[in-house]
Structure 1
Amino acid sequence: MLDTFKRYSNTWVAKILMALLILSFGLFGIANVFTNLGSSSVARVGNQSISAVEFDRAYRQQLNNITRQTGRQPSPEEAMAFGIPGSVLNQLASNAALDQMVADYGIGASDEMVSEMIAQDPNFATTLGVFDRAQFTQMLRQNGFTESEYIDAQAESVQRSQVIRGLFGGAMAPATILQISNRVQNDTRTIDYFTISTNVLDTIEAPTEEQLTTYLEQNQAQYRAEAKKKIDVLVLTPESLARSLEASEEELRAEYEAAGDQLTTAETRNVTLWRLNDDAQAATLVQGIAQGQSLDQILAVNNFGISATPLGQITRDQIEDEAIAIAAFDGDKGLTIADAATGKVAVMVRNIVPETQLSFEEAQEQLLARVNAKKARDQILDKIDEIEEQRATLRPISEIAAEVGLETQTIEITQSGVGLNEVNDLPAEGQERLLTAINNAEQDALLPAVTIGANAMAWFDLLEETTARDLTLEEVREELETAWLETQRAQALAEKADALVAQINDGTAIFDVASEVGQIAQPSLPLTRRGDGSFITANVASAAFSGGEGHADAVRLSDGTYLVFQVTGITAAEPSDIEQDNLIALSDSVADDLYQQFITARRDDLGVSINQGTLNQILSLDQ
């Protein structure tokens, strides 16, 4: 059956149809039939229904993906603006169109195929790569699947893949596309080139008052004071609450009795390093130590030209290179060779001082932190409720904070968030939420608490608002003068580069043009459109490939200098240069294009009906 599909897809009739069916599938722009399909269905493609449960699951997964990336779940309106519902329905409609073909032609999927597919999914595997049923069950539960639903979904996926492979698995890129791609990838050119910087320019005088005024007017948008708000803010986290608490000696001693054996000094070792020049030196050291020689004897006999780097008596955490840390702390005294990031390193360990348990007096600070952290975890929710009750009385947050033993901060925050990093104890994941609340805040209004993390809240009062305004010349004079001069130099250098190119185009040899500005033109290595792998970058190569032999141009580099060049040679790629990886990639691209055209035509042929009422309910949109 699949061979029949494949033969049909290679006929001239199919190719003509494929060439015509290029119009994209816009879910809400095509001539859909909006009708009542029943509350359990969102849409129907041919005889295949897309259930509300199926759409809701796929839609929620997309929202969760965006939430993980941005830290915030988009609202229904934002999701619609992003095109998420359309993207989800588009994919489900494609699957339904394939499912119709599966049903029409009786394509199946054996239990063995489905079982193998699930067993090989790395999402369900242990660190050793073995299928873990407990992890499988947990992930299904997290994503809203029962086991039977997931197995059925995977069976359908296997069936669809058989259709796709049968139709498009053997599609090959035409020879013309391969040859064009080969030329684009592997044609080479050579250029003569030199670079110029602002050193070739005459001195540019400082700007006049009139020039500065004009420049500021033209670029005023870059010189504005942001709108900002002055707030009193209280941030409550388990950590900040813990610092406000006290603990009795009885509590500290009880904690010491329970966990004193965990309160220890870190092990220290006296470590000295010798950074070796090569593997031969490492082998000589190892051999000498094995023969009973001391390190001093080995270094005295062999002129290694290396010196010791004593690190002193240190803890493991003080060594940045993990390989050196392992060599120094995972063994006993003596010499070890470590494969460090910078090369072979000889590590000598002396005077090991093992970790020891701290006395009660020595552990006071750690005990206090542990006791108060436990208290904070137990009290945080009650403290949040207490502040919220006080907040309902419309009292300033500074008064409430003082009453409950906490402190507020008075700080100015700009509309873009400048100043947020000065808010004590504010978690990174809570910064965007707090900034949004501040930007939306209005004076003389009761402002709600802001959730800034797990068991973490923030409250603030808006004290003062400053609107955005244009900065005056006096406020930005120094900065403006620097920017004006940089602009003038950049413009003058661009004009100089163009003038040099014009000289080359007029027939002056590039070597003579370079000499006029104190430079020496030099030939490049053969370069492709990606550059030469060293100095000549892709943007320079692109300019070089935009003209034939003798073509001259100048390209601005990332550091502001200009590279002036002239094309001296063109070499076309040989057909034998086509790489197998490139052939596979192009053929896969052709197959994907054919599939997209085919599935679009298939959906249009079957017809798509959408249950707008059920869809709106899932999307939480107004009817």
Structure 2
Amino acid sequence: MLTALRRLASTWVAKLLFVLLIGSFAVWGIGDTIRSFGQDNAVARVNGAPIEIEEAQAAIRREMQRLSRQLGGQFDNDPRIRRAVAQQAIEQLILDRVLRAEASDLGIAVPDQAVRDFIFSIQGFRGMSGQFERPVFENFLRSNDLTEAGFLALVRADLARQQLALAIRSGAAIPDALGNTLLQWQQEQRSASLVTLPLAAAPEPPAPEEAQLRRFHENNPDRFSSPEYREASVGVLTADRISREIEVSDADLAAAYDSRRNQFETPERRKLEQVLVQDEEKAKAIAAAWSGGADFATITREADAAGGQAVDLGAIDRAGLPFPQLAEAAFAAAPGTVTTPVRTDFGWHVLKVEGIEPGATRPLAEVRDQLRTDLTAEKAADLAFERANQVEDALAAGATLAEVAQRFNLGFATIRTDANGLEPEGKAVELPVIEAARAPLLRTVFTTEKGAAPRLAETEAGFVAVDVKEVTLPTLRPFESVEPQVREAFIAEAKRREMEERAAGLLAAVKGGKSLADAAREAGFGVREIGAVTRDQRDGPVPAEILAPLFELKANEPTMARTRDGFAVAQLLEVTRPDPAADPAALARLKAETSQAMAGDLETEYVAALRNRADVRINARLLDSLAQP
């Protein structure tokens, strides 16, 4: 035998086979390298510049940590949330690149002193002395996975973006013609005739015959069929369940408080109104008039006349003001006073302090329970992934779901339920999850194939494994067993048709030339005249379903709508539009609010246009991999 093998090995056929074997092993051994040759390892590229995996991972990690700290135990780290967070983090990195490029093209530069002043003004970096403290700053960097150089770069880029945003937003001003039109639309009032036809007032229809009921029963199987039922075993692993095993020490709480101090500090906020003009003398004149007691509506008109604008900034902290000199002036002024004009790259600012919301720091003793809950949730989330791998390995090795649930402390239940979580007797089935997770768990049960081997999958309800034993499909219940329900539904439908026909008759009569009042009296219905109806009425005399159609009508036109309890028919009688000149304060408020909204829209459109103009390429494969746990 060995002699025969040696002879075969010396032939050209054997040599060819060895070459093929060696080649196949080589390809298998370096297959990953061969397959990835020529592929782009950047998560995204903006105008050719890469966003590397490490930067993307850090951005996603920071965002996940921020959400976890902000939401605590309510944060559900499921696949869809991770995917959305990953997409948002990558999109923010893309926009950062786009805006940096635009700022560079426009020659916008942020000096080191401006970066330093901005960081020193952040309330969260101040200690008990009220001054900037480097240890607090370094704790912030560590807890957010940032380097000092990286954070300074982020601040510099953000200040440059703010300059861009202010330049765009400063062009948002509402002309008087548009302001007057908007105010008239907003405060417009309408009066109408109204007839309501509740189903409860419908006459009792003739008693239906059995043949009618049987036909109604057959024509509406969705109303009278039993639901699909599933018999299944479910095992659930959640961070909430694991959290009962977690212990958090006092040392852990103290360290977490130090690293997250900025979460428990509320900076001082000031309610500010601002005027921005380009001429210093006009700014001084406006400041003098404002200090002399002129109201905001008057100041708004003066700002408009000076080619500038007046804006109600609302309540804002130091960090919300884009320039240190603005923050210094605003937070040095006393309540009710007006600052002297302050110059920035965008012109001359005059600020009035309308009110002060003092800052505060919550001590560790006050937030101890909150911190304990947050830390427990974070540790439980980490442990959940580790235990999920152990459960999956045990299931793959052949253990039953019941065995795995007992070994790894899973929530477990054997159930027979419909998609709404009800047993055949109508009682709510008991599930091993909190109330908010019932619906996601039931969706998993009803999307799992019968007989499929249970496998642990991450869902909105946590890590879930389902073993579907039996499926009972929906069937039309026998007529005799549901006759009372069929009769009730038949009568209700007959009443609905009756009232709809009567409402349609009123509508036709008005369209034929009668007034709604006359048509209603002839038909035996009561009619009401409703006046001073506005677009934003809440819980008023006009049904909500007919309010919007009413404001689309011309004088004397009718409309009809289905309401929650029946039908309604209305006829427009009169339209009253306000005189904007009679309420200058309301006009000023509307113009300020609309200017702010327009400024936001302009900024959004500007950023979107920059992004569309840039050459943005996203590596979907790498993005999907980053969204994985």
Q: Contact 1:188 / 1:572 at 8 angstroms: preserved in 2?
A: yes
Q: 2:589 aligns with which of 575, 581, 584?
A: 581
2:78 is matched with which residue? 73
- Please name the residue that 2:568 is paired with: 563
Kept after mapping to 1: 8 A contact 2:168/2:602: no
Q: Which amino acid aligns with 1:228?
A: Y
1:550 pairs, out of 553, 556, 562, with: 556
Work out whether residues 42 and 55 of structure 1, in 8 Å CA contact, stay in contact via their aligned partners in 2. no
8 A Cα contact 1:394 1:446, kept in partner = no
| CA shift in 2, pair 1:482/1:412, >3 Å | same
SS at match of 1:562: strand
Q: What is the aligned partner in structure 2 of residue 620 from structure 1? A: 625
Tell me whether 1:412 sits opposite 2:422 in the alignment: no
Is the 8 Å Cα contact of residues 240 and 425 (structure 1) preserved in structure 2? Answer: no
User: How far did 1:405 drift?
Assistant: 12
CA apart distance, 1:516: 4.4
What is the one-letter code of the residue matched to 1:230? E
- Which residue is equivalent to 2:96? 95
In structure 2, how many angstroms separate the alpha carbons of the residues matched to 1:190 and 1:518? 22
Structure 1 position 117, deviation (Å)? 4.9
Give the match for residue 153 of structure 2. Answer: 152
The 1-side partners of 2:39 and 2:468 are apart by 51
Provide closer, same or farther for how the CA distance between residues 502 and 403 of structure 1 changes in structure 2, counting only shifts above 3 A.
Answer: closer
Counterparts of 2:87 and 2:241 in 1: how far apart (Å)? 45
Aligned partner letter, 2:576: T
CA distance in 2, matches of 1:193, 1:600: 47
Q: Contact 1:194–1:564 (CA<8 Å) still a contact in 2? A: yes
Once the two structures are superposed, residues 476-496 of structure 1 have per-residue CA deviations (whole angstroms, 9 ceiling, x without a partner) of 433333223222212221221
CA contact (8 A) 2:562 2:568 kept: yes
SS at match of 1:499: helix
Distance 2:609 2:459 in 1: 48
Per the alignment, do residues 440 and 150 of structure 1 end up closer, same or farther by CA in structure 2, a change over 3 Å counting?
Answer: same
The reply to whether residue 572 of structure 1 matches residue 572 of structure 2 is no
Q: Secondary structure at the match of 2:470?
A: strand
Check conservation: 2:78, 2:459, Cα contact below 8 A.
Answer: no
CA contact (8 A) 1:232 1:410 kept: yes
Which segment is superposed worse, 221-230 or 539-548?
221-230
Match of 1:44 among 26, 46, 56: 46
Report the secondary structure of 1:548's partner residue: coil
Pick the aligned partner of 1:590 from 584, 587, 598. Answer: 598
SS at match of 2:488: helix
- Gap change, CA 1:181 and 1:229, over 3 Å in 2: same
Alpha-carbon deviation of 1:160?
Answer: 0.8
Helix, strand or coil for the counterpart of 1:620? helix
* 1-structure distance, mates of 2:126, 2:194: 56
Q: What amino acid is aligned across from residue 507 of structure 2 in structure 1?
A: V
- Is 155-164 or 115-124 further displaced after alignment? 115-124
- Contact 2:507–2:560 under 8 Å retained in 1: yes
Q: Which residue of 2 aligns with 1:363?
A: none
Match of 1:365 in 2: none
Q: TM-score, normalised by structure 1?
A: 0.56
After superposition, the C-alpha distances for 1:164-198 in whole angstroms (9 at most, x for unaligned) are 21233232134444343223212211123342323
CA contact (8 A) 2:236 2:410 kept: no
| AA partner of residue 204 (structure 1) | P
Correspondence 1:534 to 2:535: no
Q: Which 10-residue stretch deviates more, 57-66 or 160-169? A: 57-66
Alignment of 1:15-26 (within 5 A): none
Q: Matched residues in 1 for 2:625 and 2:393: separation?
A: 32
Which residue matches 2:429?
422
Counterpart amino acid of 2:552? Answer: S
Partners of 1:383 and 1:42 in 2: CA distance = 33
3-state DSSP of counterpart to 1:423: coil
Residue aligning to 1:291: none
Shift in CA distance, 59/450, structure 1 to aligned 2, threshold 3 Å? closer
Which shows bigger deviation, 477-486 or 133-142? 133-142
CA distance in 2, matches of 1:533, 1:127: 50
Native 8 Å contact 2:555 2:573 kept in 1: yes
CA deviation after TM superposition for structure 1 residue 231, in Å: 3.2
1:433–1:451 contact (8 Å) kept in structure 2: no
1:183 aligned to 2:184?
yes
CA distance in 2, matches of 1:502, 1:457: 59
Q: What's the TM-score once normalised by structure 2's chain length?
A: 0.55
Match of 1:201 in 2: 202
CA-CA distance at 1:157 after TM superposition: 0.8
User: Secondary structure of 2:559's partner?
Assistant: strand
Distance 1:239 1:97 in 2: 41
The change in CA–CA distance for 1:50 and 1:510 in structure 2 (over 3 A counts) is: same
1:54 shift after superposition: 4.0
Q: CA RMSD in A?
A: 5.2
Q: 1:107 to 1:416 in 2, by over 3 A?
A: same
Partners of 2:192 and 2:572 within 8 A in 1: yes
Query: Residues 205 and 146 (structure 1 numbering): CA distance in 2 closer, same or farther, change over 3 Å?
Result: farther
Listed one character per residue, the Cα deviations across residues 219-269 of structure 1 (whole Å, up to 9, x for unaligned) are 43454433332235577999999x9xxxxxxxxxxxxxxxxxxxxxxxxxx
> Counterpart of 2:197 in structure 1: which amino acid?
I
* 8 Å Cα contact 1:194-1:520 kept in structure 2: yes
1:567–1:222: structure 2 CA closer, same or farther, 3 Å change rule?
A: same
Residue 79 of structure 2 aligns to a residue whose secondary structure is coil
Q: In the alignment, is the contact (CA less than 8 A) between 2:62 and 2:145 conserved in 1?
A: no
- 1:276-297 deviation digits (Å, cap 9, x = unpaired): xxxxxxxxxxxxxxxxxxxxxx
Deviation track 1:75-98 (CA, whole Å, cap 9, x = no partner) reads: 69x94xx7x776655554443232
Partners of 2:610 and 2:40 in 1: CA distance: 24
Task: Sort the Cα spacing of 1:238 and 1:541 in 2 relative to 1 into closer, same or farther, 3 A.
Answer: closer
Residue 127 of structure 1: how far off its partner (Å): 13
Cα pair 1:206 1:481 within 8 Å, conserved: no
Identity rate of aligned residues, in percent?
21
Q: Aligned-pair distance for 1:497?
A: 1.4
Q: 1:506 to 1:173 in 2, by over 3 A?
A: same
Q: Give runs of aligned pairs for residues 43-62 of structure 1, distance below 5 A.
A: 43-45=45-47, 50-59=51-60
In 1: Cα distance, 2:55 partner to 2:519 partner = 69
Count the aligned residue pairs: 441
Say yes or no: does 1:164 pair with 2:183: no
Determine the C-alpha separation between the residues in 1 that align with 2:103 and 2:170. 17
What is the match of residue 272 of structure 1? Answer: none
Change (3 A) 1:477 1:146: farther
Residues 435, 548 of structure 1: alpha-carbon distance in 2 compared, 3 angstrom cutoff:
closer
- In 2, Cα distance between the equivalents of 1:66 and 1:240? 20
| Worse-matched range after superposition: 486-495 or 51-60 | 51-60
Provide the rounded CA distance (Å) in 1 between the counterparts of 2:402 and 2:39.
Answer: 57
SS at match of 1:525: strand
Query: Structure 2 counterpart of 1:45, which letter?
Result: N
Instruction: Spell out, residue by residue over 1:447-496, the C-alpha distance to the aligned partner (whole angstroms, 9 max, x if none).
Output: 24678999x98877544332344445445433333223222212221221
Distance verdict in 2 for CA 1:391–1:153, change over 3 Å: closer
Contact 2:421 2:429 in 1 (8 A): no
Task: Please say if 1:610 is aligned against 2:614.
Answer: no
Q: Which residue of 2 aligns with 1:489?
A: 495
Residues in 2 aligned to 1:405 and 1:43: alpha-carbon distance in whole angstroms? 45
**For residues 415 and 475 of structure 1, what CA distance do their matches in structure 2 show?**
22
